[in-house]
């Protein structure tokens, strides 16, 4: 049986641990709040960029950009974005399950390469039979920068323009709330003008409006150059 001194020492140890974990919780909550603010703050910008792309594409025509070129999908690049850490429920598992389901539902794909982003994505897909892209991005979320997105997009664009792939898809979690993440699967390339953004219905409504009520835009330079 423990002595009174042992019990008091144990109580002090538990209280010290409690103080440490309370401080860790406060730091984690602050970091989570900053990350959440960045996600929510970027959405209006991303939504408007999509609307502009849809509007310009509808006026420039499908042949205005090589990124509109639709080819039979045989060789596909799959961008899978997961987290750097585990112990987060089904956050990573749902992404990988959706990616596997996407591949399984397209029997016509003869070659699938995976571009994993996040340490858990790299670890998962290295153990699978699908070849990885020349680059992978483990552990970038600790210091995520615009340069990362630019490098990834430049790589995917080059692969498509040089016809090493026929299409590119992304599988990623969409943030709804701290407890809710929704897996999204979206085709990145080729770009379909009618699917360039979710709010493109507004552009369609504008296109079908009476001649007197439709808004006309002046482009400088021309729509094709803007798309490029």
Edge-first strand listing for the sheet containing 180-189: 111-117, 75-81, 167-177, 180-189
Residue 82: predicted pLDDT: 93
Rounded CA-CA distance 196/55 in Å is 9
Phi, psi for residue 186 in degrees, rounded to 5: -140, 140
Q: How far apart are CA 157 and CA 189, in angstroms?
A: 8
What is the 8-class DSSP label of residue 210? -
pLDDT at 197: 45
Break the chain into its structural domains and give their ranges.
Answer: 71-189
Q: pLDDT of 41-91, one tens digit each?
A: 888 988 888 888 777 877 776 667 888 888 999 999 999 999 988 877 788
Q: What is the pLDDT of residue 215?
A: 62
Choose between 47 and 100: higher pLDDT: 100
Whether 88 is a known active-site residue: answer yes
| Number of neighbouring beta carbons within 10 Å of residue 192 | 14
Residue 141 CA to residue 139 CA, distance in Å, equals 6
Can you tell me the mean pLDDT for 101-117?
93
Looking at 30, 88, 90, 209, which residue is catalytic?
Answer: 88
Confidence of residue 139 (pLDDT cuts 50, 70, 90): confident
- Read off the pTM: 0.75
- Which H or E element spans position 34? helix 4-60
Residue whose structure tokens are 């001649």: 211
- pLDDT tens readout for residues 181-220: 889 999 999 987 655 444 445 444 554 555 444 566 777 8
Name the residue with tokens 């409690």.
18
The per-residue pLDDT for 194 is: 56
**What separation, in Å, do the N-terminal and C-terminal C-alpha atoms of the chain show?**
78
What is the fold, at CATH topology level, of the domain defined by 71-189?
Pyruvate Kinase; Chain: A, domain 1 (3.40.1380)
């Amino acid at each position: 049986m423990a002595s009174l001194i042992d019990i008091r020492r144990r109580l002090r140890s538990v209280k010290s641990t409690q103080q440490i974990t309370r401080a860790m919780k406060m730091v984690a909550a602050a970091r989570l709040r900053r990350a959440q603010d960045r996600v929510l703050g970027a959405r209006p910008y991303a939504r408007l960029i999509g609307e502009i792309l849809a509007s310009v594409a509808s006026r420039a025509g499908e042949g205005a950009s090589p990124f509109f070129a639709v080819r039979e999908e045989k060789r596909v690049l799959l961008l899978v974005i997961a987290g750097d850490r585990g112990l987060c429920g089904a956050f990573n598992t749902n992404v990988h399950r959706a990616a596997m389901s996407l591949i399984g539902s397209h029997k016509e794909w003869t070659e699938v390469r995976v571009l994993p982003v996040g340490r858990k994505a790299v670890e998962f897909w290295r153990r699978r039979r699908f070849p990885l892209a020349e680059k992978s991005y483990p552990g970038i979320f600790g210091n995520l920068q615009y340069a990362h997105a630019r490098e990834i997009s430049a790589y995917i664009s080059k692969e498509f323009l040089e016809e090493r792939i026929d299409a590119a898809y992304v599988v990623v979690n969409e943030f709804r709330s701290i407890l809710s993440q929704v897996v999204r699967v979206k085709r990145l390339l080729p770009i379909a003008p009618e699917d360039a953004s979710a709010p493109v219905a507004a552009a369609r409504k504008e296109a079908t409006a009476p001649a007197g009520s439709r808004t006309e835009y002046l482009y400088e330079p021309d729509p094709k150059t803007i798309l490029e």
